[in-house]
Amino acid sequence: MLSAGEVDAKIRRLFTSNRAWLSYLLFGAAYSALFALGVYTDDNSVLALAWPANAFMLGMLVRFPMLARPLGWIACLVGLAIALPIIGFGIVEGARLAAYNFGVVAIGYSLLSSFSRVDQRLERPISVFYMLSAVVPASLYAGIVGSILSGRVFTIPATVNAFQYRFSVELLNQLAFLPMILTLPQRGQWTRRLPLCLHDQAPIIVLIVSAAAGTLFGGLATLAFPVPALLLCAISYRVFLTAVLTFAYCTWTIIATLAYVDLSNLNQSLVLSIAIGRALVTLGPLIISTTTATRNEVLDQLRYLAAEREIVSNELEHRIKNLFALVNGLIGLSIRDNPDLRPLADTLKNRLVALQHAHGLIRTMNSSSSGAGELTSLKALIGVLLRPYDGRAEEHLLVDGDDAFIDSGTVTLLALVFHELATNSAKYGALSDPGGTLEVNIKRHSDALRMEWIEKTSRASNQTVASDSGFGSKLLDLTIKSQLQGSYTRNQTMGGLSVEIILPSKLFHRMGGR
Query: What is the C-alpha R_g of the chain?
Result: 37
Domain boundary among 165, 184, 203: 184
DSSP string for residues in 72-112? HHHHHHHHHHHHHHHHT--HHHHHHHHHHHHHHHHHHHHHH
Is 224 within the bounds of a domain? no
Domain boundary among 153, 184, 215: 184
**How many Å from the N-terminal Cα to the C-terminal Cα in the chain?**
84
Is 29 within the bounds of a domain? yes
Is 279 within the bounds of a domain? no
* CATH number reported for the structural domain that contains residue 398 in this entry: 3.30.565.10
* Residues spanned by the domain of 66: 18-184
pLDDT in tens, the chain (514 residues): 445 455 445 545 544 555 778 888 999 999 999 999 888 877 666 666 788 999 999 999 999 988 999 999 999 999 999 998 888 888 888 898 899 999 999 999 999 999 999 899 888 888 989 999 999 999 999 989 988 876 666 666 666 778 888 888 888 889 889 999 999 887 766 555 566 566 678 888 888 888 888 877 766 667 778 888 888 888 888 888 888 988 888 788 777 766 655 555 556 666 667 667 767 777 888 889 888 888 888 888 888 988 888 888 788 878 888 888 888 888 888 888 788 888 888 777 776 776 677 666 655 444 444 444 567 788 888 888 887 776 655 567 888 998 888 877 788 788 888 888 888 888 888 888 888 889 999 998 888 999 999 998 877 655 554 445 567 788 888 889 989 999 999 888 777 889 999 999 888 876 544 4
* Pairing mode of beta strands 376-377, 405-406: antiparallel
Please tell me the pTM assigned to this model.
0.62
Q: Hey, how many other C-beta atoms are within 10 angstroms of the C-beta on 510?
A: 11
Is 264 within the bounds of a domain? no
Cα–Cα distance for residue pair 95/92, rounded to 1 Å = 5
Q: What is the DSSP letter of 185?
A: P
Burial 396-409 (b: 16+ CB within 10 A, else e): bbebebbebbbbbe
Cα–Cα distance for residue pair 142/91, rounded to 1 Å = 20
Is 313 within the bounds of a domain? no
Cα–Cα distance for residue pair 430/436, rounded to 1 Å = 4
Quote the pLDDT of residue 334.
83
Q: Which of 492, 489, 400, 475 is nearest to 441 (CA)?
A: 400
Quote the pLDDT of residue 106.
95
Is 45 within the bounds of a domain? yes
Quote the pLDDT of residue 513.
43
Cα–Cα distance for residue pair 24/76, rounded to 1 Å = 9
Cα–Cα distance for residue pair 186/238, rounded to 1 Å = 13
Phi first, then psi, for residue 262 (nearest 5°) are -75, 105
Is 352 within the bounds of a domain? no
Q: Which of 427, 418, 433, 341 is nearest to 387 (CA)?
A: 418
Is 448 within the bounds of a domain? yes
Domains of the chain: total = 2
Domain boundary among 152, 184, 216: 184
* CATH number reported for the structural domain that contains residue 55 in this entry: 1.10.1760
Quote the pLDDT of residue 79.
93
Phi first, then psi, for residue 269 (nearest 5°) are -65, -40
DSSP string for residues in 302-335? HHHHHHHHHHHHHHHHHHHHHHHHHHHHHHHHHT
Q: Do 181 and 61 touch, CB atoms closer than 8 A?
A: no
Q: Do 142 and 170 touch, CB atoms closer than 8 A?
A: yes
